[in-house]
A and B are shown apart, each in its own frame.
Chain A
Amino acid sequence: MEAPPVTVMPVTGGTINMMEYLLQGSVLDQALESLLHRLRGLCDNMEPETFTDHELVYLLKGQQGNPFILRARRSLSHPTAPWHLRYLGQPEVGDKSRHALVRNCVDVAASHTLPEFLNEMGFRLDHEFVATGHIFRKGALKVVVSKLSRILVPGNTENTERLSLSYLVELSVLASAGQDNVSEDMRSFAEQLKPLVHLEKIDPSKQRH
């Protein structure tokens, strides 16, 4: 993985030191309606939320070792909303007793000049994509069902091509470090989505090649 180990990161104290617990899966387009229906039943009673986001992934190549990654996201459906800058740490997948992937996570809202700022800092855009989908919540649990599209002409979010015939399904919780009991809640929630979707902890490094 490219990001530095969590231990060398200068993020400490307060609400900054949050961990993201993550389970991932996918659902075929034709089964999407059934999944949304089930999620509407399982999750908090709220207005159905949809989103269309443009994510830009930036790299900073250091003097040595792996590049440092930051993810900038902006909403295409709400152009005036602030940008969202996110750092994701090295995922920990080895612990068998934990049912979810865990990684350090820092979320910051940013102004619209974020791309220029990152660029001035030496970050370079690596890739970008458009995610369109639905958000559900159940207490602290967040479920995002999204369609990923690649951007054909760099920077032009109108001209896209879908990546696959499936929707990505992500179940995540933000918690402070050490609250491993949330992964239990996640597992029991994931159980209720079977056999429609199998949410698992997937080691992203295995998907690299």
Chain B
Amino acid sequence: MQQREEKQLEASVDSLISRVSHVKNALHSFIYKLENEYERLTWPSVLDNFALLSGQLNTINKLLRNEKTPSFRTQVIIPLLLSPDRDEDLAKLTEQRVPVFSHEIVPDYLRTKPDPEVEEQEKQLSAEAGRIGPEVAQKQIQTLNKLCSNLLEKLNNPRDDRDADTAGRQNKPSFNPADTNALVGAVAFGKGLSKCRPPGPVAPGHPGQGPMMSGGPTLQQVTIGGTSGQQAGMGGPVAPQQQGQPGKMPSSIKTNIKSASSSMHPYNR
């Protein structure tokens, strides 16, 4: 009878070890991928790795819950010998992770209860929970439930708000075609901008404008409002011809600019 139990225990420990080594291998290859192939690692393949791990952990959980598996909880492990010296066999067995079986590491590896700090925190929390009266607790639960259901409702019915928002926006025009035309006309021709400049002296004190205006007192201010605005402003001998050819500019103007610029340019080539 006892022998059979022992055999069963041994078999289940063996199967547990093999399952755990599967998890270990999967973790190992995943870590390797993360460290060495992170450049071409795709998110789907990362998810695949997680799925593999989670499946393997699930099988371990199932194995432990299986009726045929003897309860490991009832088994007791007693450290018989502690030694501060390096144990090569142990190091080999644990892949160099645990080289010594000493009093320092045994409490960590054979622990069956949470860490003392964690235990302390847990105690504090339960003490705090115990202090709150049942009525207060009920109230807090209700408030939390209310908040959660409100949030859920908002998340489930976002369309109402969104529709109201867009409807409100559509009802209000955001642009005015007449304004568009006025602005385009202004940047193109100065339409609507004051263009009637007195040919006389300009308000003093503004640098750059004074000499510009005083330089050409005989030239009338030119407007560019189409043919109606085109005046024979140039007092020279050439002005009268301009009405005849709207839209086309003979190349003489080009030469005019060129000659003007070359005569002006101090660095003549």
Q: Which of A8, A10, A67, A68 has the most CB of B within 10 A?
A: A67
Assess A120 versus B254: contact at CB under 8 Å? Given A66-B246, A67-B222, A196-B174. Answer: no
Inter-chain contacts of B197 with A (CB < 8 A):
125, 154
Inter-chain contacts of B222 with A (CB < 8 A):
59, 61, 67, 124, 126
The answer to whether A129 touches B264 (Cβ under 8 A) is: no
Asked if B250 is at the interface of the complex by the 8 Å CB criterion, the answer is yes
Assess A124 versus B219: contact at CB under 8 Å? Given A64-B249, A64-B253, A119-B211. Answer: yes
Contact of A35 (CB < 8 Å), options: B174, B226, B247, B257: B174
A42-50, A135-143, A164-172, A174-182: which lies at the interface: A164-172
Interface 1/0 per residue, B178-211 and A, CB below 8 Å: 0111111111111111110100001100101101
Contact of A119 (CB < 8 Å), options: B190, B203, B212, B241: B212
How far is A31 from B264 in the complex, measured between Cα atoms in Å? Answer: 48
Please name the residue on chain A nearest to B245 by beta carbon: A65
Contact of A126 (CB < 8 Å), options: B186, B190, B211, B254: B190
Question: For window 212-269 of chain B, which residues contact chain A by CB distance below 8 Å?
Answer: 212-213, 215-216, 219, 221-226, 230, 233-234, 236, 238-239, 241-242, 244-254, 256-258, 260-261, 264
Q: What's the minimum C-beta distance from A62 to chain B, rounded to whole angstroms?
A: 4
The total of chain B residues at the interface (CB under 8 A) is 68
Asked if B173 is at the interface of the complex by the 8 Å CB criterion, the answer is yes
The answer to whether B216 touches A119 (Cβ under 8 A) is: yes
The answer to whether A208 touches B193 (Cβ under 8 A) is: no
The answer to whether A208 touches B219 (Cβ under 8 A) is: no
The answer to whether B185 touches A9 (Cβ under 8 A) is: no
The answer to whether B194 touches A9 (Cβ under 8 A) is: no
Q: What's the minimum C-beta distance from B161 to chain A, rounded to whole angstroms?
A: 17
The answer to whether A64 touches B174 (Cβ under 8 A) is: no
The total of chain A residues at the interface (CB under 8 A) is 66
Question: For window 1-59 of chain A, which residues contact chain B by CB distance below 8 Å?
Answer: 1-2, 4-5, 8-10, 24-28, 30-31, 34-35, 57, 59
Question: For window 96-135 of chain B, which residues contact chain A by CB distance below 8 Å?
Answer: none
> What are 7 pairs between A and B in contact, CB < 8 Å?
A28-B175, A62-B256, A64-B253, A65-B250, A65-B253, A118-B212, A125-B209
The 10 closest A-B pairs by CB, nearest first: A127-B190, A31-B174, A63-B238, A207-B185, A166-B179, A4-B249, A204-B188, A62-B253, A119-B212, A26-B180
Chain B residues within CB distance 8 Å of chain A: 169-170, 172-177, 179-195, 197, 202-203, 206, 208-209, 211-213, 215-216, 219, 221-226, 230, 233-234, 236, 238-239, 241-242, 244-254, 256-258, 260-261, 264
Q: Identify 11 new A-B residue pairs, CB closer than 8 A, beyond the known A63-B239, A116-B208.
A: A2-B224, A10-B254, A10-B258, A26-B183, A61-B242, A63-B242, A64-B238, A119-B211, A120-B215, A125-B197, A127-B194
